[in-house]
Each structure stands twice: as C-alpha cells, then as structure tokens.
Amino acid sequence: MKARQTPSQTVGPFFRPSLIEASAENLVQAETRGERVTIEGRVIDGDGAPVTDAMLEIWQANAEGRYDHPDDDQEKLLDPTFHGYGRAATDATGTFRFHTIKPGPVPGVDGALQAPHINVSIFARGLLKRLVTRIYFPDELLNATDAVLNAAPLERRATMVAGWMDSTHRALRFDVILQGGHETVFLDV
C-alpha cells in the first residue's frame, strides 16, 4: 500500500472561541492614569476583503512611559491599574477595537526617546508566524526621530501612524492591510 499525500491546512480559525477574553480589549479602569483613547480599525487582506477571524494583541507602556514588566527598571511610576496588555478579535466586518491610554515615550536601545507607540501582534488563519507592527500617534514631535518608524521607507511610514477619527482626539483609526500596494509595515522581530 502506498501512502497518499494529504492536503495542507492553515492555522485556525480558533482565535474567537479559544483565546479571546471578554474584557481584554479594555485596558483601562476608572482609576487608570493617562489620556484615554479608543483605537479602532479593520484587518484587510490583499483583495480588500475583511479578515473576520484575526486576533490582535497589543503591548504598551503606561502614561509615564514605563512597561509593567520586571525588566523595565526605569525610575518612573508604575500604575497598578494599568498593565499595558490587551487582546481583541475582529468581527464579521474585520473590525477590532481597544480602549486604552496614550503611552508615554520610552527609551530606545541607544537611550534616545522613542515616540509614543503601541506594539501590535496580528494572528490570523494562514499566518504561520504572527505579524508585528506599531501604532504611532499623529502629530507627535518624537515621530521625526523615532528609530523604528524612520527605518521604514518614507512613502510607507504612514501605514504605522494612526489618524484621529474626530475632533475630540479620543478615537484613532488604524487599519492593518496584510498585502498589496498599501500593505502595513511589518517589523522583523
């Protein structure tokens, strides 16, 4: 008897039923220090279709610019009500949402301050490895000198900078485009 080749399979979709916690998209409590902001966007594939079973994880510093992690030994205040980690699933339109705070600047490898940013990991069916990018805030002076943002080609940097959704400056729009001419810049980590 000769063994037959079986068809390959993609990873997932298992994110929504297995890995999404109901409150993981809300990172703030009433006592959390910092400027509240909602980040909303869509995950879109190379054909412009919504990715309805993706999961996004974010990791960020607090409003002081310190991570809630033992390796961050800066002499900045920790916020016991903010841990900087969140997780959200996309819905039937590919939309995700996080309620968080604007992070403070953190030092880079060379000690220079990085612009306020949020680290993002994207998991989806068909991706064998997560994709990683950053969300930068519009109109930030430190964007001009941020080493990671400025490592991207000039014409593609805008894919890492969110835009304000309205004049209140409390809601940001950040779409993740997985392929194509307007593909989001992904980091090699």
* Domain assignment of residue 5, yes or no: no
Burial of 58 (0-12, 13-18, 19+ CB in 10 A): buried
* Domain assignment of residue 82, yes or no: yes
* Domain assignment of residue 54, yes or no: yes
Question: Which positions ≥6 away from 2 have C-beta within 8 Å?
Answer: none
**44-56: buried (b, 16+ CB within 10 Å) or exposed (e) per residue?**
bbeeeebbbbbbb
Q: Say if residue 7's pLDDT is above 70.
A: no
Q: In the chain, what are the helix, strand and coil shares in percent, each to the nearest 5?
A: 10, 25, 60
* Domain assignment of residue 83, yes or no: yes
Please check whether residue 116 is in contact with residue 136, taking contact to mean a CB–CB distance below 8 angstroms: yes
Rounded mean pLDDT, 4-12: 53
Please check whether residue 55 is in contact with residue 20, taking contact to mean a CB–CB distance below 8 angstroms: yes
* Domain assignment of residue 8, yes or no: no
* Domain assignment of residue 186, yes or no: no
Residue-wise pLDDT for 29-65, tens only, equals 999 999 999 999 999 999 999 999 999 999 999 999 9
Rounded mean pLDDT, 76-92: 95
Q: Residue 57 is part of which domain span?
A: 40-119
* Bridge partners, residue 36, by sequence: 101
CATH number of the domain enclosing 65: 2.60.130.10
* Domain assignment of residue 112, yes or no: yes
The closest of 14, 17, 25 to 123, measured between CA atoms, is 14
Residue-wise pLDDT for 93-142, tens only, equals 999 999 999 999 999 988 899 999 999 999 998 888 999 999 999 999 99
For the question of whether the overall pTM of this predicted structure is more than 0.95, the answer is no
Please report, as a single letter, which amino acid is at residue 88.
Answer: A
* Domain assignment of residue 134, yes or no: no
Average pLDDT, rounded, for the chain: 90
SS3 81: coil
**Per the structure, how many domains does the chain have?**
1
What pLDDT, on the 0 to 100 scale, is given for residue 91? Answer: 94
Distance CA 172, CA 184 (A): 16
Q: How many CB atoms lie within 10 A of CB 42?
A: 18
Distance CA 35, CA 115 (A): 16
